[in-house]
Amino acid sequence: MPSPRRLTARPSGPFAVVGSLVLAALLGSGLLLGAGALLTPAGATGERCDSDTSVSSQARQAQAVFSGTVVSSSAERRSGGQRGVELTHQVAVDLVYKGTSRVTEVEVEVVTTRSSGGCDLGRLQDEESYVFFVSADPETEGRFVAAGDSGTATRDAALVRDIEEIFPNPSPPVAAEPPAAQFERLDLDEPTPLPRALAPGAAMVLVGGLGLVLARRLARR
C-alpha cells in the first residue's frame, strides 16, 4: 500500500500575504545592499581608513600636523602607470601643531589619492575643516601628502583635544624669513695725503702769480 504524501501547509489569508511581501522586500534590500558594497570602490568616499593606530603614534609618524580648511581641489590621473586619481587640495592653514619649519605659508597643497583598491583618503570636502597628518613632498616646497591611514580626519572637539594633549602650544603659520642681504666688500685705494692733494693747486697759484708779476714788468717798459 503506497504511503500517503505529505502536504506542506501554505499560509493563507491577508496577513500571510502581507508577511510574504515584507519578507521579499527585506531579502531584496539585503541583496541590493550587498551588491552596493561590492560595487563601491574602496576609499572613494573620502573617509579615512580604519586603523588601530593611536593619535599619538600617527602624530609621531607624521612630519607635520596642522589644522586647516579646504579651499578648493582638483583631480588628475596618477602618473607612472599607477591606477587611480591624484587629488590636490588647496588648504588654508589655521594652526600648526608640528612641523613649523615645514609649514611656512598660510596656504599649502595637500595631495591625497583615490583608487579602486587599497587604503586611500579620497577627495576632501571643500569648505570643510580638517586636522592633517602629512609627510612633506621632497620635490616641492609647501606641498604635502596625506595617506589614507595617516590620521587625517575632520576636525572635531575630540580630535583637537587629543592633539592638544600631545602638542599643547600650536601656532599660526609663520612665513620663512627672507635671506639676509649680502654686501660685497670693495677694495678702496689708500686716500691721498693732504699735502700731495694740495700740491697741484699750489703750483697753479704760483704759476699764476709769476705770470702776473711778469706782465706788470712788461707793462712798465
pLDDT at position 39: 31
pLDDT at position 212: 72
- Cα 130 to the chain's mean position, in Å? 12
pLDDT at position 84: 87
pLDDT at position 36: 35
Q: What percent of the chain has pLDDT over 90?
A: 44
pLDDT in tens, 38-48: 333 333 334 44
Domain-embedded: residue 104 = yes
Complete DSSP assignment for 51-68: ----HHHHHHH-SEEEEE
Contact 121, 43 (CB under 8 A): yes
User: Residue 55: how many CB atoms within 10 A of its CB?
Assistant: 19
Query: Which stretch of DSSP H or E encloses residue 135?
Result: strand 129-136
Domain span at 135:
55-166
Residue whose entry in the numeric block shows the C-alpha cell 589619492: 113
Grade residue 80 by pLDDT with cuts at 50, 70 and 90: confident
pLDDT at position 144: 97
Which CATH number characterizes residue 94's domain?
2.40.50.120
Rounded distance, CA 52 to CA 74, Å? 30
Grade residue 7 by pLDDT with cuts at 50, 70 and 90: very low
Q: What is the mean pLDDT of residues 31-40?
A: 34
Q: What is the mean pLDDT of residues 53-80?
A: 93
pLDDT at position 13: 53
pLDDT at position 191: 67
Q: Which range (73-77, 84-88, 104-108, 113-117) has the least confidence?
A: 113-117
- Cα 203 to the chain's mean position, in Å? 76
Choice between 129 and 215, residue whose per-residue pLDDT is larger: 129
Domain-embedded: residue 212 = no
Domain-embedded: residue 126 = yes
Domain-embedded: residue 5 = no
Domain count along the chain:
1
Domain-embedded: residue 201 = no
Domain-embedded: residue 131 = yes
- 68 forms beta bridges with 93, 130
pLDDT in tens, 109-148: 999 999 876 688 999 999 999 999 999 998 888 899 999 9
Domain-embedded: residue 39 = no
Domain-embedded: residue 97 = yes
